[in-house]
Amino acid sequence: MAPSTDSHDECGSMYSMSSSRFEDDEDNVGYGDGLNEEPETEDDFKDKLMAAIDATFVKASKTRVTALEAIRKAFISRYAIDFIAERRATFCDILERCIKKGKGEEQGSAALLAAIICISLGSGEDTDAIFIELKSQMLTILMDKSVGPIVRSQFASTLGLCCFISGSDCESCDEILESFQTLFSASYFKGNGVAPNHGTDITALHVACLYAWTLVCTTQPVSYVAQFADKYLTKLIELLDSSDVELRIAAGETIAVIFEICREGRMDISPGIGLTDKLRQLATDSQKFRAKKDRRKQRSSFRDVLKYIEDDEIPSETVKFGRERLFIDSWCRKRQYEAFCNVLGSGMNLHLKQNDLLRDVFELGTPLPIDEPVHKMSKFQKKMENIASFKARTKSRGKQRDKKSDVW
């Protein structure tokens, strides 16, 4: 999850993702970001990567896991699209082998690596080829109850991101969305109004599936989202009474995304008295049996959801990275940003600066030249630019969803 603030002023909140280097243990190949060490040369970077790639073929599973993690950290700390594109077939073979023949931690590490590779390659034939090759096996593992829920959660996040990157016209989207629904619906309350009794790891899996489903929905036609809301909105509202704080927050933010998409498509949904009452209760919750950290996190999230549902007021946040700023001014954009943060972690700043996919998704334009002078804007100019960008994106998303509506 991306950082959040407890309160928002009129101009929204501002925060930045730090780029602190990874803390590598003695088994891992180190890839710093140059903050506290000599800059790594391109040749050194490639040599370490090639050694890690070779290590994925050894017999010892622990060594393979260490190698997968080293490669993942390398691609987080550096935007290496050319290196990956030149070896796409090799990486596809590594991922397929580790996912199919590996067990537990190795499968999870391969899933996380698949996500960062697809983010680096961006939308296009290379990512589509990897996704098509891996999709069936990833879905099988996601739905396999004999696999640990933590690993399945990692596959849920990767499937959601890969589907998002490949585009909503991808034929696999229907099957993936249905799989996510099947899993997180197990947290719906029973017919007698009693919540199911799941362990923490299973609930975390349902949360991951709910977030992944919501991410893919940010690119789906209004008709699909409206049909889902018509059938299952009451079930999602029931999740607001879950005993798990992460599930409550995930359900609340999913509801906000659903309302936003439907409102943009002029298919307004009536929140009803029950929803607003529950949101208000969660936004002011002070029950002592909840942990203080959980109460603070919950109140912050549900204050924003309540403002949007009641007053159509979207929380505004600004992410600072280098000399640039990213305005997060919609629930869909917030979900997209947090999905990438979940994979890139401390490498988010670097990829926002250089990664073509992220700059396209968040409409940042071409990367700034290193020697380009800084042009500071006044607060009023920033606010006006934010408003203009939001209107343009809303209009663009509406047109895109209209074009896709015939699919459903």
pLDDT tens-digit readout, 96-110: 999 999 999 999 999
Q: Where are the domains of the chain?
A: 25-176, 319-365+380-399
In which order are the strands placed within the sheet that holds 324-328?
13-15, 317-321, 324-328
Q: What is the pLDDT of residue 268?
A: 78
Stated pTM of the model? 0.82
Give the model's confidence band at 235: pLDDT under 50 very low, under 70 low, under 90 confident, else very high: very high
Q: What is the pLDDT of residue 36?
A: 41
Q: Which comes out higher in pLDDT, residue 82 or 36?
A: 82
Averaged confidence pLDDT in the chain = 84
